[in-house]
Amino acid sequence: MSEYQMISDVLKKNKVLPKNNLTDKIMSAIDEEPTQMGGIIKTNSSNTAVLSFEIWPVLGSLAVLVVIASTAFNIEVNSVSTSQFLAIEDIPKEIINAHHAATANNMNYFIQVGDSAK
Amino acid sequence: MTLFKKLLTLLLLFSPLAAISMDDPWDILEDSANASHALNYEGVFHSQSSAETNSTHVIHANIDNKEYCSLKMLDGDPNEVFCAGDLVYVISQDGLLIKKRKNQFLFPSVLPSDINHLKKNYQLSFGEKNRIADRMAQLIVLRAKDNLRFNYHIWIDEKNFLPLKLVVTDNKNKTIEQSTFTTIAFNKEFNKEFKKDIFEKNINLSKLYATKNKFVENYVSNKFWNLKDLPAGFKEVDLISRRVNGLNLLDYQLIFSDGLAYVSLFIRPIPKGTEPKEGTVTIGSTNISAKYLDGYQIMSVGMVPPETVNTFSGSIEF
């Protein structure tokens, strides 16, 4: 906390002296505060703040979040996978080359793939 | 002119036609398949698909009942292919590649040895004679009996039965792919010097080449799939398994054929984080169909109608 002083007090030489033993005073004030040791405080305690903890509503909320996330982000939750529609650029070149290498009657296709030799 | 002479004249005029109609017309295809393996020839042919065109210089020789061939690309990258028996050596800018020839029928050797398989799936008819590469050629049309395959038009040299031109059309008679000789010469004498001149400049036939790629296997110990309702006329002709790069898993390539058309059916495990794909697309003359099944991406690829690749993709069950 900052200390403020009026200008008039300074001019009148009414200085506000810095407080002494400030640290000790703060520590003693902390010591006077109650310490909370347990997780659940009885609601009828007059000296403590009450925190009520219900687990089942929280788990239910989490489950709903998981379902929403899996739907929104297409996370696989089982082994079935959705397929995409085939486009020309999806065809691996090695598939075409392997087919022609094994079956072609056109020499241009035939030379494209084979076993490298040394 | 006496009646006898008139009859004789008529007989001589129509005997070539009579010869074709009296013999089994399918025999001409068998003769053509044999010719492409037995004849010595050298020429240039031009290939065209929806995506690209290119010209190739070819030399084919049959020496002591073993086939040798040399094919050199005349357009684009100067790639070359050499064949010795069932081994094929490909020389490209990437270096030397080696393949084992099983189902590759490079033009003009496009006909299978088993013509009976073709009879079930195609209707044969004769067309006009045309002049191809300065040779007279008879047009043979193999028209699909159903909508599961395309049509094949083959011009066969009328003297030695070598295919000189091949055109593949779809069910709307649109050309998908074609190859045709522009020049060709037969009866060239090739002997062991041919092997020395052509092969040993680039390949040492006595050397045992070790393949760098150890991932291709042709042995499948545990087939975990069944095939049902395959398109009519197609039978499985090969099975290749490969290790997926970086994973201790195999993917599989099943190859089917009706004698002329080929379809590959791929069974590939889907890595985590990869979305499977479904649908049908066309790349050039090739149709591709994809389906997802129990953690595997199923893809079928072939120069066949889209309905056929769709049927193949749906034929797998685990």
d(CA B206, CA B217): 24
Closest CA to B199 of B121, B88, B102: B88
pLDDT of residue A3: 57
CA B239 → CA A99, A104, B11, B256, B260, distances in Å?
12, 16, 53, 9, 18
pLDDT of residue B89: 79
Q: Which of A105-109, B113-117, B234-238 has the highest mean pLDDT?
A: B234-238
Point out the residue among A81, A111, A113 whose CB comes nearest to the CB of B81: A111
d(CA B148, CA A6): 102
d(CA B262, CA B122): 15
Q: Which residues of A touch B179 (CB under 8 A)?
A: 105-106
pLDDT of residue B131: 97
pLDDT tens-digit map of B269-313: 888 788 889 999 998 889 999 999 998 999 999 999 999 999 999
Chain A residue with CA closest to B267: the answer is A95
Residue B16 has pLDDT above 50, yes or no: no
pLDDT of residue B23: 66
Average pLDDT over all residues of chain B: 83
**Strands of A115-116's sheet, edge to edge?**
A115-116, B95-100, B87-92, B80-84, B66-73, B53-63, B41-49, B175-186, B163-169, B151-157, B135-144, B122-132
Residue A45 has pLDDT above 70, yes or no: no
**Chain A residues contacting B, CB < 8 Å?**
79, 81-88, 90-91, 95-96, 98-99, 101-108, 110-111, 113-118
pLDDT of residue B105: 74
Point out the residue among B56, B102, B283 whose CB comes nearest to the CB of A107: B56
pLDDT of residue B198: 64
Across the interface, do B240 and A98 touch by the CB < 8 Å criterion?
yes
pLDDT tens-digit map of B105-140: 788 988 988 888 899 999 999 999 999 999 999 999
- Whether B223 and chain A come into contact, CB under 8 Å, resolves to no
d(CA B156, CA B97): 32
- Disruptive mutation site among A96, A105, A109 for chain B (greatest number of B CBs within 10 Å): A105
Across the interface, do A117 and B177 touch by the CB < 8 Å criterion?
no
d(CA A117, CA B213): 8
Position A115 confidence tier, pLDDT thresholds 50, 70, 90: very low
Give how far B244 is from chain A: nearest CA, Å.
11
**Which regions of B1-133 does DSSP assign to beta strands (E)?**
41-49, 53-63, 66-73, 80-84, 87-92, 95-100, 122-132
- Disruptive mutation site among A96, A108, A112, A113 for chain B (greatest number of B CBs within 10 Å): A108
Closest CA to B317 of B229, B208, B252: B229
Give pTM, 2 decimals. 0.72
> Which of A43-47, B170-174, B183-187, B200-204 is predicted least confidently?
A43-47
pLDDT of residue B204: 62
pLDDT tens-digit map of B47-71: 988 777 889 999 999 888 888 888 8
Residue B195 has pLDDT above 60, yes or no: yes
Across the interface, do B210 and A117 touch by the CB < 8 Å criterion?
yes
Residue B41 has pLDDT above 60, yes or no: yes
